[in-house]
A and B are shown apart, each in its own frame.
Chain A
Amino acid sequence: MSALAFVVLALVALALGGYVLSGELRGLYARRRRARAARQPQPRFDPGIERRAELKARALLRSIVNPEEWEMYRDLGFIRIVGRGPRGSGRASADPSGGLPPDGHFSYLIYPHKPIVAYLPGSNSLLSEYCVEFPDRSERLYGRRLPDSDDVLAKWMLIRADEETLLRGANMHLPGRQIDPQRVRRDLWRLAEWERARAGRAMPSEAGAA
């Protein structure tokens, strides 16, 4: 084969290869374009939004619960509610309380995203933990959990409005299952100190008013 024939053959092969390659590239670009157009724009996650949601939730909680309950939550991180028991809810009941005294001589501690703890105020004996949550299955971007203060508000409203439903629906466990009993006893001590300090602050103003 002459050198001229070899060059011509090489040029023809090059041209054919280039044609095939350009076709492949065009197809690849077209597929990418179609995929990009089909893709829905995803909302971007904003890390500050959780904090803003919590600030809103705190403001709402403050506007709904009693002033001393709000101050308790602000200062201590939980709310204590005196229980009414099955009798207090005004309904007949087999025993939804899981052994709580029916006369309402017990209280609850409401923590955000933690079980509600029932205890006897006189002895600070821990009675039980009631595990309850409010999962929002419609929300995908931010998960199912309400902001902390909204979780506390939902528990507060449910206890105030329908304690029996809460006790029936919750998973009841012995103390210590999710919350360290030492922590609860320390919180009860903090609560007692807080109430003493609050009463001390209130007394001079009452004396001044008299």
Chain B
Amino acid sequence: MKFLRLMPGKGEVVLAEGDPQLSEDEERLIEEFRRQLDSGMWAAVPITEGASGRREAIMVQEFAEIPRDTERVIFFPRAAGG
């Protein structure tokens, strides 16, 4: 699982990478996940719907909400009215 953050002037930046099945990696990922949300980021997980094959996305607010087979979690700044 990779944590990516969308950043001005850089595109996506890899924040953390690891296998959530391994407890050491999972702790690191949870810590980074909390740090990003505490710093005002939103987290989205790209998913593919099984039946239709359509690509969708879900927003997650807890590490436990991330589907186990997820490859990427995308962090991006919170939306504000423009």
Contacts and interface: CB of A to CB of B under 8 A. Distances in A.
Contacts of A52: 11
A145 B78 CA distance: 12
Interface in A156-182: 156-158, 160-162, 165-166, 169-171
Given A57-B11, A66-B55, A153 B6 contact: yes
Nearest to A145: B8
Interface string B44-78: 10100000001111110000000000000010111
Contact of A138 (B39, B44, B55, B56): B39
B62 to A, nearest CB: 15
For chain B, the bracket of interface size reads 20 to 34
Contacts, number: 117
B22 interface: no
Contact of A147 (B8, B57, B80, B81): B8
A46 B79 CA distance: 27
Contacts of B10: 49, 53, 56, 142
A136 B39 CA distance: 10
A86 interface: no
Given A138-B39, A161-B58, A147 B11 contact: yes
Interface in A32-77: 49-50, 52-57, 60, 64-66
Interface residues of A, number: 43
Contacts of B57: 64, 156-158, 160-161
Contacts of A134: 6, 76-80
A142 B11 CA distance: 11
Contacts of A141: 9
Given A64-B57, A137-B40, A171-B81, A157 B11 contact: no
Interface string A123-146: 000000001111111110111111
Given A157-B44, A157-B74, A142 B6 contact: no
A164 to B, nearest CB: 11
A115 interface: yes
21 contacts: A49-B10, A53-B7, A57-B6, A132-B79, A136-B6, A143-B8, A143-B9, A144-B77, A157-B46, A157-B57, A157-B74, A157-B76, A158-B42, A160-B56, A160-B57, A161-B44, A161-B57, A161-B59, A169-B80, A170-B79, A170-B82
Top 9 closest pairs, chain A to chain B, by CB? A142-B9, A56-B11, A131-B82, A171-B81, A157-B57, A133-B82, A157-B44, A53-B11, A150-B6
